[in-house]
Structure 1
Amino acid sequence: MHLHLERDGKILLGLRHPDSPFAPLHHHFLAGHCEQESAVACLIREAREEAGLEIAAADVQLAHVVHVVDSPGGRPRIQLVFRAARWRGEPRLLEPDKCLGWNWWPLDALPEPMVGYARAAVAGIRAGRLYTELGWA
């Protein structure tokens, strides 16, 4: 699950740790995997655990879906990106072994490098599309 958190024309992105098995030193959404829980419950838990943000389920809605293949012959994945209308707290670095820091980036000046499907999701959201396919031949 991925969190597209916007405020004042900027989006919250984290810089992944250099030892991360996925996309080291790339900017990415606040994200995580479900642990026997719903997608929204996962998103709320990850926001709290990774950045100290409190989000109510009623404030969460699906913003974008990316069906992605990261590499030729790779396993296809469906990435769900949610948006929170409201939240409490300011992002704090609570898992320094996974993320080097949280920053707000202008939507028209996203950082490099950035996880490809995250960049595609931001572009899709800005264009008003719900779905993107990426990496398919």
Structure 2
Amino acid sequence: MEAEKPVPKVGVGVFVLNKSQSVLVGRRRSSVGDSKFALPGGHLEFGESWEECAAREVLEETGLIIHKIRFASVTNSVMLNDKRPSHYVTIFMKGELVDPCQEPENLEPDKCYGWEWVKWPLVPKPVFEPLQTLIESGFQLAEVPIPDCSFGNV
């Protein structure tokens, strides 16, 4: 029997912005991109919209609830030097926090070392290849007006 030929997978990475216009990144614990910084996200499931995937993955990984989810960009990454070589088409989405004062929790410690807010594009190194490709492309993250939560104005 002949070995099955590898196929590209579809990933969704999500720009979650907080009240100070920082983006959420975490250091991966995975056979693909291990110990590299990435946005919250994961695999697109069969029949799922990009927006549904973005909201689901962010909630599952961080406990954050996002809305006003929209397309940001896409990359094509062939990662042959990982422990498990892979090819990903990564759809980047952008979403706003329903509660701009909410902080992330590390709900999948077996997949992520922890979350932190950073200014775009100052993502700590090493950076997961799809996100690094996006940074190198000069992608600009347009600012999203987010209410100030210091006085309860949400």
Q: Which bin holds the TM-score, normalised by the shorter protein?
A: 0.7 to 0.9
What RMSD over aligned residues (CA atoms) do the two structures have, in Å?
2.2
Aligned with residue 75 of structure 2, among 52, 55, 66: 66
Q: Which runs of 5+ in 2 are unaligned?
A: 1-11, 143-154
- Call closer, same or farther: CA 1:41–1:24 in 2, change over 3 Å: same
Q: Partner of 2:140: helix, strand, or coil?
A: helix
Q: Does 1:52 align with 2:63?
A: yes
Give the gaps of 5 or more residues in structure 1.
129-137
Q: CA deviation at 1:75?
A: 6.0
CA distance in 2 between partners of 1:127 and 1:101 (Å) = 23
Percent identical: 28
Match status 1:28 vs 2:38: yes
TM-score (ref. length: structure 1): 0.77
TM-score between both structures, scaled by the size of structure 2: 0.70
1:97 aligns with 2:110: yes
CA gap 1:75/1:14 in 2 versus in 1, 3 angstroms? closer
User: Does the 8 A contact of 1:81 with 1:121 survive in 2?
Assistant: no
Count of equivalent residues: 123
Aligned counterparts of 1:35 and 1:21: Cα–Cα separation in 2: 20
Distance 2:109 2:78 in 1: 28
Separation (CA, whole Å) in 2 of partners of 1:51 and 1:35: 19
